[in-house]
A and B are shown apart, each in its own frame.
Chain A
Amino acid sequence: MSERTTAGAAPAAVASPAELAELLDRHGYLADDGLATAGFLALRMGRPLFLEGEAGVGKTELAKTLATVLGAPLIRLQCYEGLDASQALYDWDFPRQLLHLRAAEAAGITDVARLEGELYDRRFLMARPLLRALETTPSVLLVDEIDRADDEFEAFLLEVLSDFTISVPELGTIHAERPPVVVVTSNRTREVHDALKRRCLYHWLEHPAFDREVAIIRRRLPQAAERLAGQVARAAQRLRGAGLLKPPGVAESLDWTEALVALGVRELDPDVAAVTLGAVLKYREDQQRVIAGGLGALFDGG
């Protein structure tokens, strides 16, 4: 296992976690000390960052903002069950290969060895996310929801992430000039193998505290009045403590605020909440439960 000491991507000048936090902040992402340190170390040590946490706490968003901060493209590999190497790494473009063969035939080329060599040329290789990330410098690679892929894929990913090389039998080895910044996210539906976690920096993301959530809403949706942002954040915090099927994440608070802003609402009251509840609570049972408990209870004291 090799350790890289160089920064993964463009502004190698990020000197401290605080500076990274400020850069992220400038692009609308508010990171706390822990997350800023995690991101900073990921850049400095060239290690993948493994993010776990409830849905909607901003795991994917971090990767996106990191890409913006670094001025690098974001390459996303969405994991799902049955994902395999040809969908994650590369695949040969068979139709084009055949076409090439036919064209050669029509042109009367008979040099079989040369023809064969041409068929496995780089131009017939279709790069999938992992290969693309290795070939693009700098880049941010987001391996989203790794817990959805099968464990064979995990083992395979471990191999790619530990030496950042991919070997194509017909072509040879492709090595990353500079390894991409890698963010791996998981929702914990399945225990991810320890060997993979060991390769990474591990960070558990919590729902933000009240003040931070208000700040996040204000940052992302400046049109929302301070008072409205505060009300939404308080309601979201209370909903998280209400034992719902799907407690709202920051993503839902933002959705809700956006909906309210779109409706021109300046202040949240039970009537408005009742008609916009679908933006925060995505289960009928949850909605019924909250309505039964009285929507007013979400805002009092706010």
Chain B
Amino acid sequence: MGFARTLRAAGGPADPERVQAMLRALDHLDVLDRSDVYWAGRLTLCADPDDLPRYDRCFAAYFSGLTARPGRRRPPPAVVRRTFAAAPGASGGGDDEEVREARAAMVSGTEVLRHRDVARLGPDERAQVDRLVAALDAAAARRRSRRFAPAPRGRLDPGRTVRETLRRGGEISLLRHRAHRTRPRRVVLLVDVSGSMRPYADTLLRFAHAAARSGGRATEVFSVGTRLTRLTRELRHRDPDAAMAAVSEAIPDWSGGTRLGEELKEFLDRFGQRGMARGAVVVIASDGWERGDAGLLGAQMARLHRLAHRVVWANPHKARPGYEPLTAGMAAALPHIDDFTSGHSLDALEHLARLIGGSRA
């Protein structure tokens, strides 16, 4: 069906199964009625409020006889590079000698690289750091869940005890116990992609990808700049480069300005307050260069701090000699932060990962 193809081209989730559902839905409706066709499609081909405007656009375009222009493709920003292909030793062929040398350099260079500011790295070094970042484990510490699991000691497990008793003909001979299971705590990362964060945004997003990989579905990632963009779905790609490509497609405001306060408010209104930030470890990666109202940022930080388990702020400029958190935004946010860290180098990111994991190191 042409319409489904149009929608798919624009990025909608119109997979064959959904298209089938739409056709079946139309069996029960009036195929010639525009409104019926609209709803049959909208109810079956969309799966998210974000899908709806796109659906409306495609529907209007397709059924007014025009073919919809496929979604405007932005050229990916320059910060996204292919890491793995460019990595020495990744391509099977090539000069053996050269590869060996590069490998040796890589091993000895790692220690030095650990402490270098990522903004000052050459392309090869960056590729190396990217790979090390991809291997970081940034899952949050676990918290107690309401569910029980069998345990050697703990509270009595009536179900299993009775079952055991039944098996032995009614004699209570063995007590079974259970204890609360643990679950990973949710991690929410808000990565600033505004102009002033440009040298760090890519590495920090890669860090977010590593966190999403190690934290599983308990991790949520957003980019902030002039608009709040949810990146959780994009970062589900296993391969870091594929994920970064998807992310760069999704972010509409690379290297724009910063309206942290407003976006934090949007995050809290739309997601945070309803549950996403409750009891979570929330990491804000930003230099705190607030163009908007610092008072608003302060108020929203206070709100976030009341909801979250811990609030971590990673500011890459913190590591600069003589840095003082003097920008209005940073100063307003500071009273509501549990951990203030840097996140400018591999070492700093490892530290950040440990903070997320709950250690005070």
Segment of A62-70, A183-191, A268-276 engaged in the interface with chain B: A183-191
What are the residues of chain B within 8 A of A97 when measuring CB–CB?
A: 162, 166
Check if B146 is an interface residue, CB within 8 A of chain A: yes
When the two chains form their complex, are residues A202 and B271 in contact, meaning their CB atoms are under 8 A apart?
A: no
- Cα-based distance from A91 to B25 in the complex (angstroms): 37
What are the residues of chain A within 8 A of B75 when measuring CB–CB?
A: none
What are the residues of chain B within 8 A of A246 when measuring CB–CB?
A: 273
What are the residues of chain A within 8 A of B28 when measuring CB–CB?
A: 40-41, 44-45
- Cα-based distance from A55 to B28 in the complex (angstroms): 31
Nearest opposing residue in chain A for B46, CB measure: A202
Interface string of A193-205 (1 = CB under 8 A from B): 0100110011110
Check if B110 is an interface residue, CB within 8 A of chain A: no
When the two chains form their complex, are residues A82 and B145 in contact, meaning their CB atoms are under 8 A apart?
A: yes
When the two chains form their complex, are residues A38 and B170 in contact, meaning their CB atoms are under 8 A apart?
A: no
Interface string of B16-54 (1 = CB under 8 A from A): 011001001100110000011001101110110100100
Question: Given A52-B49, A198-B17 in contact, is the A38-B166 Cβ separation under 8 Å?
Answer: no
- Cα-based distance from A52 to B29 in the complex (angstroms): 23
Nearest opposing residue in chain A for B217, CB measure: A151
Check if B183 is an interface residue, CB within 8 A of chain A: yes
- Centre residue among A33, A38, A188, A243 by max chain B CB count within 10 A: A188
When the two chains form their complex, are residues A34 and B42 in contact, meaning their CB atoms are under 8 A apart?
A: yes
B161 to chain A, nearest CB (A): 9
When the two chains form their complex, are residues A82 and B274 in contact, meaning their CB atoms are under 8 A apart?
A: no
- Cα-based distance from A101 to B165 in the complex (angstroms): 10
- Cα-based distance from A152 to B163 in the complex (angstroms): 25
A50 to chain B, nearest CB (A): 8
A79 to chain B, nearest CB (A): 12
Question: Given A34-B42, A189-B274, A202-B47 in contact, is the A98-B145 Cβ separation under 8 Å?
Answer: no
Nearest opposing residue in chain B for A82, CB measure: B146
- Cα-based distance from A246 to B273 in the complex (angstroms): 9
Of B17, B49, B146, which contacts A81 at CB under 8 A? B146
Question: Given A41-B43, A44-B28, A45-B28 in contact, is the A119-B166 Cβ separation under 8 Å?
Answer: yes
Nearest opposing residue in chain B for A112, CB measure: B169
User: Which secondary structure characterizes the binding site on chain B?
Assistant: helix
When the two chains form their complex, are residues B146 and A190 in contact, meaning their CB atoms are under 8 A apart?
A: no
Check if A252 is an interface residue, CB within 8 A of chain B: no
Which residues of A96-134 have CB atoms within 8 Å of chain B's CB atoms?
A: 97-98, 101-102, 105, 112, 119
What are the residues of chain B within 8 A of A162 when measuring CB–CB?
A: none
- Cα-based distance from A199 to B36 in the complex (angstroms): 20
B160 to chain A, nearest CB (A): 10
B221 to chain A, nearest CB (A): 12
Interface string of A50-76 (1 = CB under 8 A from B): 001001000000000000000000000
- Centre residue among A33, A84, A101, A201 by max chain B CB count within 10 A: A201
Question: Given A82-B147, A194-B13 in contact, is the A94-B274 Cβ separation under 8 Å?
Answer: no
What are the residues of chain A within 8 A of B35 when measuring CB–CB?
A: 33
A116 to chain B, nearest CB (A): 8
Check if A150 is an interface residue, CB within 8 A of chain B: yes
When the two chains form their complex, are residues B43 and A98 in contact, meaning their CB atoms are under 8 A apart?
A: no
When the two chains form their complex, are residues A98 and B39 in contact, meaning their CB atoms are under 8 A apart?
A: no
Check if A148 is an interface residue, CB within 8 A of chain B: yes
When the two chains form their complex, are residues B166 and A202 in contact, meaning their CB atoms are under 8 A apart?
A: no
When the two chains form their complex, are residues A37 and B43 in contact, meaning their CB atoms are under 8 A apart?
A: yes
What are the residues of chain B within 8 A of A81 when measuring CB–CB?
A: 145-146
- Centre residue among B15, B29, B303 by max chain A CB count within 10 A: B29
Of A45, A95, A245, which contacts B25 at CB under 8 A? A45
Check if B358 is an interface residue, CB within 8 A of chain A: no
Check if A211 is an interface residue, CB within 8 A of chain B: no
When the two chains form their complex, are residues B25 and A41 in contact, meaning their CB atoms are under 8 A apart?
A: yes
- Cα-based distance from A92 to B29 in the complex (angstroms): 44
Question: Given A147-B275, A197-B47 in contact, is the A45-B145 Cβ separation under 8 Å?
Answer: no
- Centre residue among A80, A95, A101, A189 by max chain B CB count within 10 A: A189
When the two chains form their complex, are residues B36 and A37 in contact, meaning their CB atoms are under 8 A apart?
A: yes
- Centre residue among B46, B163, B169, B274 by max chain A CB count within 10 A: B274
When the two chains form their complex, are residues B145 and A202 in contact, meaning their CB atoms are under 8 A apart?
A: no
Check if B233 is an interface residue, CB within 8 A of chain A: yes
- Cα-based distance from A47 to B27 in the complex (angstroms): 14
When the two chains form their complex, are residues A37 and B39 in contact, meaning their CB atoms are under 8 A apart?
A: yes
When the two chains form their complex, are residues A202 and B165 in contact, meaning their CB atoms are under 8 A apart?
A: no
When the two chains form their complex, are residues A3 and B24 in contact, meaning their CB atoms are under 8 A apart?
A: yes
Of B18, B43, B275, which contacts A190 at CB under 8 A? B275
- Cα-based distance from A198 to B17 in the complex (angstroms): 8
B215 to chain A, nearest CB (A): 13
What are the residues of chain B within 8 A of A203 when measuring CB–CB?
A: 43
- Cα-based distance from A92 to B18 in the complex (angstroms): 39
What are the residues of chain A within 8 A of B15 when measuring CB–CB?
A: 198
What are the residues of chain B within 8 A of A201 when measuring CB–CB?
A: 21, 25, 43-44
Interface string of B167-179 (1 = CB under 8 A from A): 0011000000000
Interface string of B248-275 (1 = CB under 8 A from A): 0000000000000000010001110111
B158 to chain A, nearest CB (A): 6
29 sample A-B contacts, Cβ–Cβ < 8 Å, listed by A number: A3-B24, A17-B29, A37-B29, A41-B28, A41-B29, A41-B40, A45-B28, A55-B274, A80-B146, A82-B147, A91-B159, A92-B159, A94-B159, A97-B162, A98-B165, A98-B170, A119-B166, A150-B183, A187-B275, A188-B49, A191-B233, A194-B47, A198-B15, A198-B18, A202-B44, A202-B46, A203-B43, A204-B46, A243-B269
